[in-house]
Structure 1
Amino acid sequence: MNFSDILNDYAPYKGIVENLNNTPVSVAGIVESAQGQLIYSLKNENKSSALVVCYSDMEARKLYSDMELYSDNVLYFPTKEYIFYNIETSGHQNEHARISVIQKLVSGGDYIVVTSLDAILQYTCDKEEFKSLCIDFELGKTFNLEKLTENLVVMGYSREDSVEGAGQFAIRGGILDIFPVGNENPYRIEFFDDETDSIREFDTYTQRSLDKIDFARVTPANEAVITDEKRDRIIAELEKRIRSAKRKKSDESYFIETTESDIESFKEVRYFPSIDKYVSLVYDKIPSITDYFSDNDLVFIIDPKRISERGKTFEWEKNEVVAELKEKGIIGAAKDSFYCSYHDKVHEMSVKKLISLDVLSHSSTDFKYKHLETFTTKTTVSFHGKIEYLYEDLRNWQSENYTVAILCTSRGRGENLAGVLVDKGIRARFIGDDANKANFNKGETVIIKGELNKGFEYPEINFVLVSDREIFETKKSRSRRKVENANRIKNYTDISVGDYVVHQTHGIGQYMGTKKMVVGGITKDYLKIQYQGTDSLYIPIDQLNLLYKYVGNTDKKLKLNKLGSNEWNKTKQRVKQSTEELAKKLVALYAERERAKGFAYSEDTPWQRDFEDTFPYQETDDQLRSIEEVKGDMESQKPMDRLLCGDVGFGKTEIALRAAFKAVGDSKQVAYLCPTTILAMQHYETFLKRMESFPIKVEMLSRFRTASEQKRILKKLKTGEIDIIIGTHRILSKDLEFKDLGLLIIDEEQRFGVAHKERLKELKQNIDVLTMTATPIPRTLHMAMTGVRDMSVLSEPPENRYPVQTYVLEDNPAVIADAVRNELSRGGQVFYLYNRVQGIYRKAEWIRSMFPDITVAVGHGKMKEDELEDIMYDMVNGKTDVLVCTTIIETGLDIPNANTIIIENADKMGLSQLYQLRGRVGRSNRAAYAYLTYHRDKILSDIASKRLRAVKEFTEFGSGFKIAMRDLEIRGAGNILGPEQHGHMDAVGYDMYCKLLKESVDEAQGIKIDDVQDVAIDINIDAYLPESYIRNHNQRIDIYKKIAAIETEDDKFEIEDELIDRFGDIPRAVQNIIEVASLKTYAKECGIYEIAQSGDNLLMKFGENYVDANLIMGLDKMFPKRIKLLSGDKPVISYAIKGEYKKILNIVNNLLSTIKELQSAEKDSIIKS
């Protein structure tokens, strides 16, 4: 038997099957945890698709996650947010998820779609129009590229220079890149003339092709599809409404203004954020997801009584919204409809094969049932981590010939449990297959890989299913779903005109663009850099590796260096001296720690594995790697000193928990130091919960403990009765003594004062230390400090964290009021960020005046520490509805119930700050919202308007997001290196600083640095990227950078493959740049720092100790009458070209090859002698 047929002999189930053509049918007595299995079985009986309608999104998601146990063909159709105001919005995850479901339904196959009542009453794409607009690409099929481009725009795709996210496309020559909504990867379609020549998937991060495929389907990217004919019709209707409004005596100015603006948007961009308010003009009849199901398909209504209640309140709520929008002048016609009618939808679903499922009784006023069935089911009870209770129940079930299925989240856990049960004399078998493929026998106890929120029992047919959540008390881990563009953030190093740049030799200048110059009939690209005064420099594009985008403090205008002055060299020398001192200190500290003898912990015990099994989620790869690194340190003789970096919620606490458990397992004490009382309390509660099933004593020291309690805790710490102490700087007090401290965990060390840090130094001696920070650390700094600082980096986003829906808008009290109301109506909390202490209480009063029945609190940095902590404590514990505060909430706090943040005057804040503030919400299984506002009609400064533009692009694909990440990394670098080094970083720019630090660390470790660092090659060949080949400036710069970074033959082949893949056949001028870059590496190995063509001669300039008589004689023998050694400070060898100008690249290649062979032969002879 399997999960599809366990009910085949159950009379009530047979009754449903016999009445599938006599619906609606009502089923009572079916507990929530058993509903998924019943739906799956009935869908298989009916051999059709099924639509499952739940009361809310949250319940739909829960049932969807349960149904994934039984079938791969389960889809979740979420609700979406309607936007009626013209506000910028980021992220279309929900709309894209909805379109993805529709795309699968129209492509054929039987699916189970789980959704909510609200979602089926919202509009979606019209079924016939959706099908007619889909474009199928097949090899050999012909397309008119111009017409294809127009069609893609109509379908809702936006044209970009390169494709980074769903709903985008790009065309370069005969290559179309497109990211269809619902796809995991985008497509790259190459045309030969107008014929489809090849179709490949590609990676948005590398922009490189993956697999070749024969077929690709592109579906509409927007649920409101606006064809040219529809657009003309809508514009005509809106113009008619404006004329009517102008004739009215009442003030219709706001309606006229917004509608005229919308008409322009229809003409210019077709799609814009508030398109939802015109849905009744886009579609004659509001289309719904139910249109995609036939009369033979099954429709399941979960909890029909609540569905009926929600249907009525939905109608009332939406009528209120429409009336309010009409009153405010947002919409003009009262007859406009935005949603399907609930009663019409009930009628439509009733004519399909409708089955209602209810835990209690047959009750509904809306559905007229023709057949009733009552099931007997129960949910399984929790074993509260006491596995002996499970043994007892299993013996009882087996004595009554029960079929028992136990679900385990991992294969390892399942095999372990099977082994333990057999050892206890309980017959059990582990099935390696996933649950939807598992087969088992009646009366058997099987352990299957799978997950369910809760188990269930059918006592009448002797069947029980137990989830390991009931055994081990873990949460069901949500399946890892692909968050669009998750972990796909490239460093924001694109150089744009006007950006500050740092040249290795000439210092800080301003980039003014690229310039193509023709000299002596040879065409090359140059970068123009403006320096102080009227000085400017044209740098050959092949020297791009000497240029960095300036990243550092750009709050004030940077002073440019003057060409020819010694100022830059002095600055660089000063910074180099500082990095050398830092490197020596780091190397000495590291060596001292290597020599020190610490405590070597034993390898993981079975208890450690049991404890780790209680982690409710699937570990990320970064977490697993970091856990191994921490354990490796702890098991070695030398004391651990590891830095763990990762954004809030990326899983640092779990690593700390496992390290602490390991330490206590070897009878050592653990101290966990937190920067605030609230954080200490949150960590204390987490540790208590995770360790409650183990004999480990956890305590907290903070001002929340009375004097007598603190005294008692201190005494127990000294005697060793407390294993883990969590607290604030109180832990650092001199009166606190440990019996045997083995591990110190420090959260955000940079937030502690000088005195505290000195005490930390004393504590750290000869014990293991794990320091954690939420500020991301740049990879370049990580690399620069390799070998002198042990670091673990968590860069993967947390499992299934819901993206924060972000809106950017002018101040609009109506939108803000709606945002607060919506959050409070679902029992949530709101952060209202007002970053000025002056006026913050007036802002709180304004919110109270709109919502008199809610609790509004104020928090800011000028409050006494205790007062502020009390306010935060109330917010954490749900006693406050809206917290009006300054940026004090920027880091650390975890309030999963707060899922809306409103940030006033967002244009006055740094992007990295906005990124961190936005991260305060979206930390639970609910959708989260961020509203970034700026003052209406405010005249903005240059810096503010630039920042605002970036804020408007504050999406996963926008530049604002990338800048924010880069800014955050720099802040992280400063935190690690200290304020003095941060100043040096600003002086030379971040990348130059990292280069100097890397050199200093290498020198301090005795690693030899190459004499020749950079090579310049100036020969007379065309070397440039034609605009006809790569149109976009940033893409050309990016390709130039990749070419400049060529170091090996493999690098060269890699860039050639990429160019052919992304842009087509490589032009000669581009191939020349690649060849020159490749020759530079060769030249460097030979000790040559410059190759220049001067008239009829090729000059090769060497570093010291690379040229001797043997080399000259060898070259003269290979190239008779062409070689000369020129006198000067450093050796220069001249080669006479003698008219062979067209073969110049081959000549340089042959020369370098010969020089390398001669130098190698010389080395070999020295070694032998």
Structure 2
Amino acid sequence: MTSSLIGPLTIPRQSGDRRHWSNLPGSASSLLIAETIAQEQQFCLVVAADMQSAERIYHELNFFLNAAGVEPSNLVQLFPDWETLVYDNFSPHQDIISERLRILNQLPSMTAGALVVPATTLMHKIAPPSFSLGSSLVLDVGQKFDIKDMRRQLESAAYRCVETVLEHGEFAVRGAIMDVFPMGTDHPYRLDLFDDEIESLRTFDPETQLSVNKVTSVRLLPAREYPLTTAAINRFQDAWHLKFHSDPRRCPIYQDISQGLSPAGVEYYLPLFFESSATLFDYLPEGALVVSEDIDATLRRHWRDAESRFESLRYDIEKPILPPEEILLSADQLLTACNLRPRIEIKEASHQQGDQFSFAQLPDVAIIERGQQPLEKLQLLLKQPALKILIITESNGRREVVDELLGRHHINTQIVDSWHEFLSHSAAVQLAVAPMERGLLLPASNLLVLTEQQLFGQHVLQKRRRDRQKDNAAEPVIKSLTELHIDSPVVHIDHGVGRYLGLQTLSIDNQETEFLTLGYQNDARLYVPVSALHLISRYAAADETLAPLHKLGGDTWEKAKRKAAEQVRDVAAELLNIYARREAKKGFAFPEPDEAYEEFAATFPFEETPDQQNAIERVISDMVTEKAMDHLICGDVG
């Protein structure tokens, strides 16, 4: 294969064939993988040394694959780790399980793209494809439907019956309506039944509980990575008796599974549910290419940690545990599985038989703080003829900061939206937004990619992104039913303080409508349509346990509102007096922020939150005028 950017690439084709890539600084290895996928329509299993490296490669592949003119999200997937320690008493979050099940169902049919996985995650034994691929259920509009039978099926698939569906793996039944949040989907679904038939299927917003779009069918994946059918429970019990000699009556996990429950930490007993477990390798499409970082040390360290934890926990008679070899692949087993497939190893050091590429070490372009020419290193690079530079920032806000900084030093820039657009544009310096930490230098093609980390000499946190459109965090208005829990105090604008008792479906004029049920004194009930959620606000006092309970139809609430209005008027009069005296007083006007201030602000390694940005702008606005200012800025860490 010949890449337009890199030149010839030799890709192993046969099982057992191996190649080595070495001396690939920065994100060069990700560009090579992206070129392999784009040019060869190849599927790659990319094995990263750890989760941090996996996330970094995932973002880099998504960015570089834009060069192929395809939607990256359909090509590159990140297989999430359970995020638990071996033998933990905790289970993974349902969103993690949902993403894993979605990927496992798609993986065998993928013909091109990449699955990025940390090496330690790849070690875990998982459910066989016969379960993950064969336990789904498709529901269609017009299909015959028995709600009691469906409820049993969902519970056997480990779905939880709840009052209000908010998370993956939950379902709720209210009369002839069933809500369910299938694993592997972005939205929950609402099934409206007419007699014994599905009349309509709609997505709905879990925050507002309002229906959104009509659909014709929905696929339900199991809610866990193990079954809870009668046959699976019996298999678990039989395997338990064979593996362990402790009294099962003293083992909470055994008792919970026997009752069809999903106890925390049961994932480390997963082999007991199946005749034989599997690994991620069993799901790979035919011809998959394995591309791995230097993972040997990571695998062996993880195996030693698992053995150590096993030795310290194995003597608990109430929680006997399986040995590491039954729940994990050893380092040697995993490396053997990699070597049975076409494989490329990425090595940091030079390799005698490794493929050589024309990448080079990234130049030092760090901004010189407090220097007369802070961008001197970058300006020297720009004197090289034909060199194209792409500077990547982590957000639009940071891109604007860098753009302004370059502009003040007479460096013209072009804003682009993708790697593909950068390659096709002729501007010497271009700016793009992507969650990338590493750049690259390709001298043969006169291409240099820089990130904020290279410019500012520090790590820019990618996870500090916030919605700048509107900050409603401090508002007492309830925007979402997820903000409420049963018995939480709420305030109705007309009826005062009550307690939220949940959702209820009522039939009015032969039309079923969802209502919030609020409880008041003397067991009185107030039913508020979901569409009137704006009439309800959170109880804003410090201690919810001391919230009063008003009487429907009483005058306590009206008296409280009148008293509050009087206090507001008194405070307003006092504030007006303070503001009037402040306006009459002359203060000191500071000069407008200069270039030194802007360069100092640009070194802040985070994107400012809306509150931070608002506070900064208001303080500066007052400082540059003669108006006396009086600001108190409060902040907390975390």
TM-score by length of 1: 0.44
For structure 1, which segment, 624-633 or 272-281, has the greater mean C-alpha deviation from structure 2 after superposition?
624-633
Q: Does 1:349 align with 2:333?
A: no
> Superposed, which structure 2 residues align to 1:620-631 within 5 Å?
620=609
Query: 629, 633, 636: which one pairs with 1:771?
Result: 633
Q: Does 1:465 align with 2:449?
A: yes
Q: Deviations over 1:1094-1113 (max 9, x none)?
A: xxxxxxxxxxxxxxxxxxxx
C-alpha change, 1:605 and 1:139, in structure 2 (3 Å) is farther
Q: Deviations over 1:909-932 (max 9, x none)?
A: xxxxxxxxxx6xxxxxxxxxxxxx
Letter in 2 for 1:270: L
Deviation at 1:67, TM superposition (A): 2.7
5+ long unaligned stretches in structure 1: 247-255, 364-370, 515-524, 531-535, 639-765, 775-891, 893-918, 920-1169
Query: 144, 154, 160: which one pairs with 1:158?
Result: 160
Query: 258, 269, 275: which one pairs with 2:266?
Result: 275
Give the SS at the match of 1:165: coil
Report the equivalent of 1:180: 182
Query: 280, 284, 297: which one pairs with 1:289?
Result: 280
CA contact (8 A) 1:277 1:331 kept: no
Query: 416, 420, 428: which one pairs with 1:445?
Result: 428
Give the SS at the match of 2:201: strand
Report the equivalent of 2:578: 589
Alpha-carbon distance in structure 2 between the residues aligned to 1:193 and 1:407: 57
C-alpha change, 1:461 and 1:438, in structure 2 (3 Å) is closer
Alpha-carbon distance in structure 2 between the residues aligned to 1:82 and 1:547: 37
Q: Does 1:373 align with 2:355?
A: yes
CA contact (8 A) 1:190 1:199 kept: yes
Report the equivalent of 2:512: none
Report the equivalent of 1:973: none
> Superposed, which structure 2 residues align to 1:878-1027 within 5 Å?
892=637
Query: 318, 329, 333: which one pairs with 1:340?
Result: 329
Alpha-carbon distance in structure 2 between the residues aligned to 1:506 and 1:6: 69
Report the equivalent of 1:34: 28
Give the SS at the match of 1:205: coil
Q: Does 1:320 align with 2:322?
A: no
Give the SS at the match of 1:43: helix
C-alpha change, 1:576 and 1:113, in structure 2 (3 Å) is same
Alpha-carbon distance in structure 2 between the residues aligned to 1:630 and 1:550: 28
Letter in 1 for 2:287: N
Report the equivalent of 2:292: 301
Alpha-carbon distance in structure 1 between the residues aligned to 2:305 and 2:526: 65
Q: Deviations over 1:1073-1110 (max 9, x none)?
A: xxxxxxxxxxxxxxxxxxxxxxxxxxxxxxxxxxxxxx
Report the equivalent of 1:362: 351
Give the SS at the match of 2:424: coil
5+ long unaligned stretches in structure 2: 66-71, 368-373, 474-478, 504-515
Q: Does 1:392 align with 2:380?
A: yes
CA contact (8 A) 2:24 2:359 kept: yes
CA contact (8 A) 1:136 1:218 kept: yes
Deviation at 1:322, TM superposition (A): 2.6
Alpha-carbon distance in structure 1 between the residues aligned to 2:202 and 2:498: 42
CA contact (8 A) 2:303 2:330 kept: yes
CA contact (8 A) 1:33 1:455 kept: yes
Alpha-carbon distance in structure 2 between the residues aligned to 1:478 and 1:511: 38
Alpha-carbon distance in structure 2 between the residues aligned to 1:564 and 1:189: 38
Give the SS at the match of 2:209: coil
> Superposed, which structure 2 residues align to 1:107-506 within 5 Å?
108=110, 110-238=112-240, 244-245=245-246, 256-259=248-251, 261-303=252-294, 307-329=295-317, 330-331=319-320, 337-362=326-351, 372-385=354-367, 386-396=374-384, 398=385, 401-402=386-387, 404-408=389-393, 410=396, 412=400, 430=414, 432-440=416-424, 445-451=428-434, 452-459=436-443, 462-473=446-457, 475-478=459-462, 496=487
Give the SS at the match of 2:438: coil
CA contact (8 A) 1:96 1:221 kept: yes
Deviation at 1:233, TM superposition (A): 1.7
C-alpha change, 1:47 and 1:78, in structure 2 (3 Å) is same
Deviation at 1:528, TM superposition (A): 7.9
Q: Deviations over 1:797-851 (max 9, x none)?
A: xxxxxxxxxxxxxxxxxxxxxxxxxxxxxxxxxxxxxxxxxxxxxxxxxxxxxxx
CA contact (8 A) 2:51 2:118 kept: yes
Higher RCO (CA 8 Å, separation ≥ 6 residues): 2
Report the equivalent of 1:57: 51
Give the SS at the match of 1:281: helix
CA contact (8 A) 2:310 2:321 kept: no
C-alpha change, 1:32 and 1:141, in structure 2 (3 Å) is farther
Q: Deviations over 1:83-127 (max 9, x none)?
A: 787957684454444334334435646332222111001133433
Q: Deviations over 1:237-284 (max 9, x none)?
A: 435667x446xxxxxxxxx4542x323311334311021232121233
Letter in 1 for 2:354: L
Alpha-carbon distance in structure 2 between the residues aligned to 1:19 and 1:568: 77
C-alpha change, 1:134 and 1:575, in structure 2 (3 Å) is same
Equivalenced residue count is 593
CA contact (8 A) 1:512 1:529 kept: no
Report the equivalent of 2:371: none
Letter in 2 for 1:124: I
TM-score by length of 2: 0.76
Give the SS at the match of 1:327: coil
Alpha-carbon distance in structure 1 between the residues aligned to 2:342 and 2:183: 31
Report the equivalent of 1:70: 64
CA contact (8 A) 2:191 2:201 kept: yes
Alpha-carbon distance in structure 2 between the residues aligned to 1:108 and 1:481: 31
Deviation at 1:204, TM superposition (A): 1.6
Report the equivalent of 1:1030: none
Alpha-carbon distance in structure 1 between the residues aligned to 2:296 and 2:528: 70
Going by fraction, where is helix more abundant, 1 or 2? 1
C-alpha change, 1:22 and 1:80, in structure 2 (3 Å) is closer
Give the SS at the match of 1:771: coil
Alpha-carbon distance in structure 1 between the residues aligned to 2:15 and 2:551: 87
Letter in 1 for 2:366: H
C-alpha change, 1:493 and 1:322, in structure 2 (3 Å) is closer
CA contact (8 A) 1:84 1:276 kept: no
Alpha-carbon distance in structure 1 between the residues aligned to 2:494 and 2:415: 66
For the pair shown, which has the larger CA radius of gyration, 1 or 2?
A: 1
Deviation at 1:52, TM superposition (A): 1.2
CA contact (8 A) 1:49 1:293 kept: no
Alpha-carbon distance in structure 2 between the residues aligned to 1:513 and 1:351: 55
Report the equivalent of 2:507: none
Report the equivalent of 1:1122: none
CA contact (8 A) 2:310 2:324 kept: no
Letter in 1 for 2:315: E
Letter in 2 for 1:25: R
Deviation at 1:56, TM superposition (A): 1.7
Alpha-carbon distance in structure 1 between the residues aligned to 2:185 and 2:599: 38
Letter in 2 for 1:449: A
